[in-house]
Amino acid sequence: MASPLLRLEGVGKRFPNSTTALEGLDMEVRQGEFLSLLGPSGCGKSTALRLIAGLTEPTAGRIDWNGAEAARDADGRRSIGFVFQEPTLMPWASVFANVHLPLKLAGVSRGKAEPAIAEALELVGLEGFRDAYPRELSGGMKMRVSIARALVTKPRLLLMDEPFAALDEITRFKLNNDLLQVWRQLGCTIIFVTHSVFESVFLSSRILVFRARPGRVSAELSIDPNQPRDDAFRTSPEYAGLCRETSLALARAMEAR
Ligand SMILES: Nc1ncnc2c1ncn2[C@@H]1O[C@H](COP(=O)(O)OP(=O)(O)OP(=O)(O)O)[C@@H](O)[C@H]1O
- Binding site membership of 39 for ligand 1 (Cβ less than 6 Å): yes
C-alpha distances (whole Å) from 128 to each of 4, 111, 177, 186 are 38, 18, 20, 21
Per-residue confidence (pLDDT) for residue 257, from 0 to 100: 61
ipTM: 0.95
Question: Which CATH number characterizes residue 63's domain?
Answer: 3.40.50.300
- Binding site membership of 15 for ligand 1 (Cβ less than 6 Å): yes
Question: What span, in angstroms and rounded, lies between the C-alpha atoms of 208 and 189?
Answer: 15
Does residue 204 share a domain with residue 137?
A: no
Residue 84 domain-assigned? no
C-alpha distances (whole Å) from 178 to each of 47, 173, 233 are 26, 9, 15
Does residue 162 share a domain with residue 141?
A: no
Does residue 93 share a domain with residue 36?
A: no
Per-residue confidence (pLDDT) for residue 148, from 0 to 100: 94
Does residue 167 share a domain with residue 55?
A: yes
Does residue 103 share a domain with residue 70?
A: no
- Binding site membership of 92 for ligand 1 (Cβ less than 6 Å): no
Contact 2, 55 (CB under 8 A): no
Considering all CA atoms of the chain, what is the largest pairwise distance in Å, rounded to the nearest integer? 55
For the chain (257 residues), the mean pLDDT of every run of 10, in chain order, is 87 95 95 94 93 94 76 66 92 97 93 94 93 96 94 93 90 91 92 95 96 91 91 93 96 83
Does residue 130 share a domain with residue 24?
A: no
Q: Which atom of ligand 1 is nearest to the CA of 22?
A: 14
Domain boundary among 114, 133, 154: 154
Instruction: Supply the DSSP string of 160-182, one letter for each residue.
Output: EESTTTTS-HHHHHHHHHHHHHH
Helices and strands (H, E) in the chain, number of each type: 8, 9
| Residue span of the structural domain in which 35 resides | 4-79+155-255
Domain boundary among 98, 125, 154: 154
What element of type H or E holds 33?
A: none
Per-residue confidence (pLDDT) for residue 74, from 0 to 100: 59
Residue 161 domain-assigned? yes
Residue 246 domain-assigned? yes
- Binding site membership of 214 for ligand 1 (Cβ less than 6 Å): no
- Quote the number of domains for the chain: 2
Does residue 62 share a domain with residue 167?
A: yes
Q: Tell me, rounded to whole angstroms, the distance of Cα 202 from its chain centroid.
A: 14
Does residue 140 share a domain with residue 105?
A: yes
Q: How far is the CA of 253 from the centre of ligand 1 (A)?
A: 17
pTM: 0.93
Per-residue confidence (pLDDT) for residue 73, from 0 to 100: 61
Does residue 134 share a domain with residue 147?
A: yes
Q: What is the DSSP letter of 2?
A: P
Q: How far is the CA of 44 from the centre of ligand 1 (A)?
A: 6
